[in-house]
Homo-oligomer: A and B are copies of this chain.
Amino acid sequence: MKKAKPPPSPPTSATAHEARRVTSYDVALAAGVSQSAVSRCFKPGASVSKETYARVMAAAAELDYIPNAAARSLITRRSNMVAVIISNLTNLYYPEALSELSQQLVRHGKRVLLFNLAREADVDQALADVWQYQVDGVIASAGLSDAHIGEFERRHVPLVMFNRAASDQRMHSVNSVLCDQRDASRMLVSRLAAAGHRQFAIVDGPADSSASAERRQAACERLAELGLPPPVVVTGNHDYRSGADGLRAVIAQLGRAPDAIICGNDVMAIGCLDCARHELGIDVPGRLSVAGFDAVEPSNWLSYNLTTLRQPMQKMAAAAADLLANLIDSHDTQAERRVFGAQFIAGATARLVALKPQPLAA
């Protein structure tokens, strides 16, 4: 019997109000092996004899031993934590994204440290904490400035932008998983234009949403290509209320309802829709077509059945997790962009076929 020296002082005393934690030394002592043997038993690919492994595991179970991740990460430089930075969880779109990301990351052995930004200004404090917590990498679905992104590089912390574009300068130097907003938006405009809509309106998302901005730009471009009048554009903030407000503002500006209104996300589209139907008595899609983005769950409810565009969330989350895991394992420096296409959901809030030509006579 060898005595283990390392834990020289017996736990200060039993009177400590918090029991001393069980460490690998305790297990080693109980199993009659060295501490390093215990350590090896908890490392997947290590070389341990079957016999010692069994004895160690028995002792560990007996003592309720659990390895301390903080100590481990100190030496391995891996915390097995990934920070997920999200700009506003109450946005109906994010919970699904977060849920998928979390599940995919678990498959790579990573847990999510959550940073939910109530205001965009909170990003600085969030990043300060991110550095402290020694996360292995970051998935950001929030607006990051070039300066922020630069800090990731300096600190060698892998970053994947999720559904958020970096600035044009940074675009090709930062890893990202995106949905092709331009293509989706152009597709939507084309379908609506083909059905004969001429006067469009756009209820844009807030200024810090890169996706909304791309959608708006692409829509404007496509309208110009088709020789249609420029759309009325108003700004919302992605919530229900601002959809309704947006519709009213558009009507005020235009003097009448437009033919079609494209909203920066589904919740605004639903706000717009409810306002049209229940407050203004406008027939949708008879006199007004309404479309959204994201295909969040309520968009599919019978009362709405919204015309919208679905992003392949599961694939995107899986791609983000894979990309980040690769970045972490192989300090790759070559940035990658994975772009996914959106799926058009016809719904029933937009007229998608041309009207029969009306006879001129009354």
Where the two chains meet, the residues of A that have a C-beta atom closer than 8 Å to any C-beta of B are: 17-19, 64, 66-71, 73-74, 77, 79, 81, 84, 89-90, 92, 94-96, 98-99, 102-103, 111-116, 118, 128-129, 131-134, 154-156, 240, 270-271, 274-275, 277-279, 297-298, 301-304, 331
Contacts and interface: CB of A to CB of B under 8 A. Distances in A.
Give the number of times this chain occurs in the complex, counting copies.
Answer: 2
Contacts of A102: 89, 114, 116
Contact of A111 (B92, B115, B298): B115
Contact of A18 (B64, B89, B303, B331): B331
A95 B103 contact: no
B298 A278 contact: no
A69 B134 contact: yes
A358 B269 CA distance: 43
A156 B20 CA distance: 10
Contacts of A89: 95, 98-99, 102
The 8 tightest CB contacts between A and B, nearest first, are A274-B302, A95-B95, A89-B99, A303-B303, A112-B114, A66-B131, A69-B132, A278-B302
Contact of A70 (B79, B111, B113): B79
A306 to B, nearest CB: 11
B99 A111 contact: no
A121 to B, nearest CB: 14
A278 B331 CA distance: 55
Contacts of A67: 132
B70 A134 contact: yes
A40 to B, nearest CB: 17
Contact of A64 (B116, B155, B240, B301): B155
Contacts of A116: 98-99, 102-103, 112
Contact of A99 (B79, B90, B128, B279): B90
Nearest to A125: B106
Nearest to A239: B297
